[in-house]
Structure 1
């Protein structure tokens, strides 16, 4: 089997797929990344549409650029043992450009019928090459089971040191790789690793739509597609036809346009009618299990159909180490559009079957949904009562509220399990009066169990806290704060969380942390729950309260990752933590990450976050808008926060909004505007804030006092500014508000300097504290004169000036191809052959190539002859085309 006589079918199988210029290079999944480096075997396992082949092509280019020989082989169901070895031989003959390689295997195949003996000969030839070799096997799921168990397993366990094997499969590979795992020689990438991350989605959006994207739009599209590479590409194709991207994303649907056409072509047109009917009927389910599907369609073959469909369609997402599957939302909407066209009686019967199976297996919420759609309301109410309180404990308040909207009011009031769950969910938001009505019967019942009365008071206190009335919350829960431990560990942990919040309001952040850390522990089978989640939010917030940004960032980032994974990105717990983390990241000058953390979350923050988190979210977004040069956007956000304060009767929002506006105008020297805003602020400040009474009064008084400072700053009234700074400094020190304390020191240093005094010592102290706390942004944003003063001071003292962050986050842009070409450092070619190929690609004649390389024309002809042989080409243009196809030749960046 010389190179010239490779079967045409094998030629196709060993030819790599055409490269896509628009394909996104994914550095996170680089062949040299820590998770893949030095791994002898790598398996990429995911359904169709997850970009496996594109990733293999990326690894191929990376390997070629490092000088490795790369062999590509696309497999099919006819690749039994001997044919598999023939494919390997052809792949290596093309990849290495050595006809002798193929010929030696051909001779071996001529006198043996044992594929393992032939494979041993192939491996020996690989060793003899003495070069780093990457073997890429695509579509491994098509291999006959016998070939996987014998030939492929033998290949992996006998691979020489210079060989790396990469395998791509749509399904799980039944390979005995325990020993390879034990020796850290095997890596596996699945669906979760192949999903696009938000920054990768942003890279695609930016390359396609340039400056028409923002963080919110990017995150909305990312969440809609769930990082599914194919779904993202389909969505982008649909969006290209719209001039208003935000509106297009909002209305993106699989029921029209290119996305619908794709599903029609890939599902309805290509699949047998029996499988299409099966898909439509199981689309009523959110999660799929082979046994559930079999019960639904009353066919024991349903499990096999499901397995086949996972291989041939890109719409299924497999659970990790689980038999459960789900259909991607984009495809699910399309299939449900067909499901609703079935006769009503058939639909209700299918829903009833699903409800029965799910209830039998303890999946009560899913069973209740199916019973409701089947028209069995009483059954649905009974089922949801089994699980709604547990759903609330898991922090899924949004799901609880959805049920409250569905269930009749009388049913909620009559069922204790529903009543308590509903009260908790309504208290975490803005529906506090409804929550109070649901628990009043317990609070007013002197015969109620103490644990029941304690929980009712804890709900009422939570409602008061989320209404930003901490003094009222304290009065409600105070009788239980010093009681001996009783009730469940969960209830004790809830009370501990309340105590921690009150400690923070009182200016005791270390006590708040102690209470959070030592809250009673309990078993939680589903990871992070609402109680632990809010306690972690308070724990991280205590560092932010002190201005200690570095530990705050560490704690809040870890807490947010857990909350997103266990509860959901837009859950009340997650968005509360996200608001704090974004504020910390901005202060640490990590602007791009702060944008990402808050992206597509503001509406969820409005609905479910604590008041302090809502204020932080709006202010952080406004400051980020200023850094992007979007002043109008910043003012709009602050106006929206003020309006929210009026609607909810929450003074915090109005005070924080006006303070931030005064600060922004003050830094721009807008004295009259600052005075006008101050008059508005002064008119609405409650007496409790003026007198610094209660738990909330002192905290809000800090904003009011600092607003007065900034008004004086805008007026250049240095004596007035120094006078206003004194009470502000005393209050922030009493409350242990570290960030504000540092800012006050910086402003005092500026006022002293301009008033004729010596502010240098104060400046040095403030800069030292800011550096210790990680407060980089305050040193830049507090005032332009202060920032310049710090730079001058550092320069005078021989220190490196503090770096100023770019005002606009850096967004990756697509590379533009230039007119020149480059040749990968592949060992397929000698260095001189690479030079000749590069000049050949520029259409130079033999004489011109000879002159450029300072060699004779006969030497050029000799190298061209070698290139013709290695690329199996008949003309000069064919050589160049083959080199491009194989990735040896590519456009220079």
Structure 2
């Protein structure tokens, strides 16, 4: 091996300036950087080399000797040891004077490392290229005989045949897989922001993350496709693997490395949503499907493997590219392949897949038959889009003669804003005494869905009265869960939040897999909402977060129905906790799904969260546009409760600006909408509407300085909040009552405000004070400064103005900032840099920047100095 070859092998590549530090993987390094062996195995495009270069920098910063070795197929044992010895001695600043070869030379090297005592790291990249003899002998010897101060990091595209069980048993082994390296949602957003800045909206960034499924090279290719486009939004919407950089990647970097037989196999299996050995062999016509799939999994980045390794799927971008090649095959071959797959799925009663492939094979009649048999399954899985498409293909005559099929259709209609049609179909069966109990229960389930989506909770007592006699007669767990869920929904709006959680516990006892998965998801949504009603965002977040993480990781991803409904609840909880950025990210590219398939409660939560985030950003116009969008949606979907929340929140915003005429018009609109809730089907919602309306009108009365009217409205609101167990609203009412007391010169003002803040702090509600009347924040600042006295209160009553500014400010623990944000802001006030703060708090500089961005949003600040000044003005840090 020449000197030039050695230098190239032991010289690490340049770290791209576009690479970002991934906090999660750096934390992994913190935990394992002293272990003997660290194995990183993932297909091409997962950022293995970039990660190793970042880790190399961390080791060097910590004073370690770090040797780099690139691998190739020519590295037989002798050549490998020679290059490795040169790399280690070059990294440590020593000359390579060894005259021994093979294992003897490796033993000398390990002895030198041990004697030197300094932490030493050997990084071996692209190890899948090494010959078997090299892996079996020098690499294995290196791992098993490494001294205590040596760490060996090995990167490869496939799992290597190394004996590491003993190292694992002793806690000396760490591993990273493709799933560990896959970009999380927030990591994709950070990369896109760094490379494209404000050119993409949050929704568009989310769309690219979903399209690339966390595949790092896929995201980089997406950036390359978008960054030079004059219309980046259009480029995102039309991003495809059938053209541009991504097509070039698949052609040049993937297909060119595979034999023609593997390319042909990939092309044909691209018609499959999910792949197993049988289907692989069925489509390819070859008997070695298991071996071929195993090779594809290990050598290409495009095979997605879940916990059940029996079923895999193609990455969506790769599938899109390969389907473009499949479409070039002769029509007869394409039809034959689809026909085979259709029959295979039909034999296993996978009728949705059977219908899809029958239609692709050109057999419309067979597709309709399979589609009819798939509606129920699609409905219970929450695959409403597919179900709706198939429903539109089924002839009316087929529906008319099959009662079970009509009930399945009613469920789909109920979810797709055709509530009256769904209810009419369900009533036919419910009112038919000759109908079988199981069919009547199915009809009652469809009726509850229609009532829930239409917000017609007044129909629920009738449904439950018909259902209760049948509960014990139908053993299907799905129907038992549906009965408990609709009962819980009714109880929730009556204020029985604790009972809701008891009902949810009973429902979840039936299970949460298979046909129960969607119903279980609804149960968890109800549990989260019940905590929000109690005014406990911390408990709501704890209840939702683990389930949402699991659902997001599934093939349907972030935009599945249940993921979006869970996200609406978690986002509302995080926004109340004072985490607007996290809440906004949760809703990115999900609002349209929530609008289409969400219950009214989910829609209200999502829109109010986005409007309040806009207010946190200081963008009142965006907040108002969001709320006007909610009002327009309410009109389209005939959901007056949505209008009430929209109008009430706009009244509060306009009250801050003293927009009298606008508030008068909105108040008239609010009163007109309120009459809708005299209708029987909407009457259970009337207390909630009265509560929301009373608080909004109280804000308007305070704007006019009409303290008497405000007090009457708040007394009514307080009683309603107690009745409905709306803890967050009760605390907001308490804050407004303290403002009324302050304006009256009452000594009750400060105790009321203090109690509201203390209760909010206990519940993890970090947004209470900023959401309430502006006087409340000034009152809180002055109370903490210790300058409140009756003269100031009487002056407010007399002049109708806020108290004078505080003479000094001290820390106030009101939940506006999290404890970590308060720490960081205090250190900034002392003149410390981000890097210094990171060292003091034992976090990364990137984490400091993330917290600082949240601080800017919460305090409406644009610079570090501005944030400190604002915090001192509000009494959030010491002067």
Asked if Structure 1 and Structure 2 have the same fold, meaning a TM-score greater than 0.5 normalized by the shorter chain, the answer is yes
Q: Which residue of 2 aligns with 1:771?
A: 761
The DSSP-based 3-state class of the residue aligned with 1:122 is helix
Q: Which residue of 1 aligns with 2:26?
A: 30
Q: Which residue of 1 aligns with 2:784?
A: 794
Are 1:784 and 2:795 counterparts? Answer: no
**Contact 1:795–1:801 (CA under 8 A) maintained in structure 2:** no
Are 1:258 and 2:248 counterparts? Answer: no
- Write out aligned runs for 1:367-516 (5 A): 367-381=354-368, 383=370, 388-411=375-398, 419-436=406-423, 438-481=425-468, 485-487=472-474, 488-516=476-504
Q: How many residues align?
A: 796
Are 1:237 and 2:221 counterparts? Answer: no
Tell me, in whole angstroms, the C-alpha distance in 1 between the residues paired with 2:570 and 2:726: 17
- Write out aligned runs for 1:105-120 (5 A): 106-107=99-100, 109=101, 115-116=102-103, 118-120=105-107
Q: Deviations over 1:723-748 (max 9, x none)?
A: 22121111111111111111111111
Are 1:522 and 2:510 counterparts? Answer: yes
Tell me, in whole angstroms, the C-alpha distance in 2 between the residues paired with 1:402 and 1:665: 43
Counterparts in 2 of 1:376 and 1:720: CA distance versus 1, 3 Å: same
The DSSP-based 3-state class of the residue aligned with 1:168 is strand
Are 1:723 and 2:712 counterparts? Answer: yes
**How well do the aligned residues superpose, as a CA RMSD in angstroms?**
3.0
Counterparts in 2 of 1:334 and 1:95: CA distance versus 1, 3 Å: same
Higher-Rg structure is 1
Tell me, in whole angstroms, the C-alpha distance in 2 between the residues paired with 1:691 and 1:438: 21
Instruction: Give the unaligned 5+ runs of structure 2.
Output: 788-808, 822-834, 836-879
Tell me, in whole angstroms, the C-alpha distance in 2 between the residues paired with 1:625 and 1:503: 32
**Contact 2:511–2:520 (CA under 8 A) maintained in structure 1:** no
**Contact 1:528–1:563 (CA under 8 A) maintained in structure 2:** no
Tell me, in whole angstroms, the C-alpha distance in 1 between the residues paired with 2:817 and 2:11: 46
Are 1:103 and 2:104 counterparts? Answer: no
Q: What is the deviation of 1:624?
A: 0.9
The DSSP-based 3-state class of the residue aligned with 2:89 is helix
The DSSP-based 3-state class of the residue aligned with 2:507 is coil
Counterparts in 2 of 1:223 and 1:408: CA distance versus 1, 3 Å: farther
Are 1:202 and 2:198 counterparts? Answer: no
Q: Which TM-score applies when normalising by structure 1?
A: 0.83
Tell me, in whole angstroms, the C-alpha distance in 1 between the residues paired with 2:395 and 2:154: 54
Q: Which residue of 1 aligns with 2:38?
A: 42
Tell me, in whole angstroms, the C-alpha distance in 2 between the residues paired with 1:90 and 1:319: 41
Are 1:153 and 2:145 counterparts? Answer: no
Counterparts in 2 of 1:179 and 1:474: CA distance versus 1, 3 Å: farther
Counterparts in 2 of 1:41 and 1:356: CA distance versus 1, 3 Å: farther
The DSSP-based 3-state class of the residue aligned with 1:135 is strand
Q: Which residue of 2 aligns with 1:745?
A: 734
Residue number among 331, 334, 342 corresponding to 2:329 in the alignment = 342
Are 1:17 and 2:7 counterparts? Answer: no
Residue number among 167, 170, 174 corresponding to 2:154 in the alignment = 167
Tell me, in whole angstroms, the C-alpha distance in 2 between the residues paired with 1:288 and 1:342: 20
With 401-410 and 484-493 compared, the bigger mean Cα shift is at 401-410
- Write out aligned runs for 1:422-821 (5 A): 422-436=409-423, 438-481=425-468, 485-487=472-474, 488-519=476-507, 521-526=509-514, 529-566=517-554, 568-686=557-675, 688=677, 694-758=683-747, 759-796=749-786, 800-802=811-813
Counterparts in 2 of 1:399 and 1:166: CA distance versus 1, 3 Å: farther
Q: What is the deviation of 1:653?
A: 1.2
**Contact 1:289–1:325 (CA under 8 A) maintained in structure 2:** yes
The DSSP-based 3-state class of the residue aligned with 1:589 is coil
**Contact 2:489–2:526 (CA under 8 A) maintained in structure 1:** yes
Q: Deviations over 1:812-834 (max 9, x none)?
A: xxxxxxxxxx9xxxxxxxxxxxx
**Contact 2:40–2:155 (CA under 8 A) maintained in structure 1:** yes
Q: Which residue of 1 aligns with 2:826?
A: none
Counterparts in 2 of 1:754 and 1:591: CA distance versus 1, 3 Å: same
Counterparts in 2 of 1:97 and 1:309: CA distance versus 1, 3 Å: farther
Tell me, in whole angstroms, the C-alpha distance in 2 between the residues paired with 1:212 and 1:57: 29
Q: Which residue of 2 aligns with 1:123?
A: 110
Counterparts in 2 of 1:285 and 1:670: CA distance versus 1, 3 Å: same
Residue number among 264, 272, 276 corresponding to 1:285 in the alignment = 272
Counterparts in 2 of 1:454 and 1:484: CA distance versus 1, 3 Å: closer
Q: What is the deviation of 1:19?
A: 1.9
Counterparts in 2 of 1:569 and 1:423: CA distance versus 1, 3 Å: farther
With 768-777 and 209-218 compared, the bigger mean Cα shift is at 209-218
Q: What is the deviation of 1:341?
A: 2.2
Tell me, in whole angstroms, the C-alpha distance in 2 between the residues paired with 1:190 and 1:412: 49
Q: Which residue of 2 aligns with 1:88?
A: 84
Q: Which TM-score applies when normalising by structure 2?
A: 0.84
Counterparts in 2 of 1:501 and 1:32: CA distance versus 1, 3 Å: closer
**Contact 1:659–1:703 (CA under 8 A) maintained in structure 2:** yes
**Contact 2:456–2:681 (CA under 8 A) maintained in structure 1:** no
Q: What is the deviation of 1:238?
A: 1.0
Q: What is the deviation of 1:609?
A: 0.7
Q: What is the deviation of 1:713?
A: 1.7
Identify the structure with bigger relative contact order (alpha carbons < 8 Å, sequence gap 6+).
1
Q: What is the deviation of 1:208?
A: 1.8
Counterparts in 2 of 1:37 and 1:668: CA distance versus 1, 3 Å: farther
Q: Which residue of 2 aligns with 1:819?
A: none
The DSSP-based 3-state class of the residue aligned with 2:304 is strand
